Structure 1
Amino acid sequence: MSNTKRKIIVFDDDEDILSICNYILEEKGWDVYTFTDCNAITERVSGIMPDVILMDNWIPDAGGIIATQTLKKDEELKNIPVIYFSANSDIQLLANDAGAETYLAKPFDLDELERIISSVA
């Protein structure tokens, strides 16, 4: 039996956000993978090959912009949509700099989270 569940990775150093995302997305039928830093990001992402990535701006160590740019430079990973999320007021600029497909401002409501993910998944 093949497992056709969609996979999502959430990169955030805030455990509360990870647990909320985990709970909500698992309810919606996603396989959720969470990381509190973006070290060895290409290895991690290629090991999972998710359908979508949620990327926090302030993720240790390199930060979300460098982490996202690293993924977008990788032939195998560059087409995985990245949703950039941050409480920063410049989030649209940050997401553009990073090369993310879209962004989600924190704090976010759960309907918005689902809508943004559906828009790229």
Structure 2
Amino acid sequence: MTERNLTNGKKKVFIFDDNLEILELCTEILNDIGCDVRTSPTTTNVEHQIKGYLPDLILMDNWLPDISGIEATRLIKENDELKHIPVIYFTANSNISELAAEAGADDYLAKPFDIDQFELTVKKYTSG
């Protein structure tokens, strides 16, 4: 039985953000569109956290305790077991496109975000 079977076919999204209100809001939105969600307010042992869940998509904030979103995204993208998982860089920084490129993220989404745009961006990586 694969990990995906254990979540009833739902797409799995892992959100790394130290803002608990953002985590709660995003979890609610993602649950409404049929995703299974795991969250973490820290990037401590980021690779271990991801391997324990094997998400279909990762949302990564820039400012996180332990290691930055850039460093965490690089660790994910350098790991042969994890590099296939799309990472959406997710931050309020004005230079988000440059940060996402520096990190090696697959896409980015600026905060504050429009809920419809958030859903469209997530569905782009979780549909099919």
Q: If the length of structure 2 is used for normalisation, what is the TM-score?
A: 0.91
Give me the CA root mean square deviation: 1.1
| Residue number among 4, 14, 20 corresponding to 2:25 in the alignment | 20
> Which residue identity lines up with residue 49 of structure 2 in the other structure?
R
CA deviation profile, 1:31-75 (whole Å, cap 9, x unmatched): 100000001011110110000000000011111000000000000
Amino acid of the structure 1 residue aligned with 2:118: L
- Aligned with 1:48: secondary structure? coil
| Structure 2 counterparts to residues 50-65 of structure 1, below 5 A | 50-65=55-70
Q: Count residues with an aligned counterpart.
A: 121
Detail structure 1 runs of 4+ shifted over 2 Å in the superposition.
none
Q: Where does structure 1 lack aligned partners over 5 or more consecutive residues?
A: none
Deviation at 1:118, TM superposition (A): 1.5
Residue 33 of structure 1, aligned match among 35, 38, 60: 38
Structure 2 partner of 1:108 = 113
Q: Is 1:118 matched with 2:123?
A: yes
| TM-score, length of structure 1 as denominator length | 0.97
Percent same amino acid among aligned pairs? 49
Question: Corresponding residue for 1:70?
Answer: 75
Residue 82 of structure 2 corresponds to residue 46 of structure 1:
no
Question: Which residue, 77, 80, 97 being the options, matches 2:102?
Answer: 97
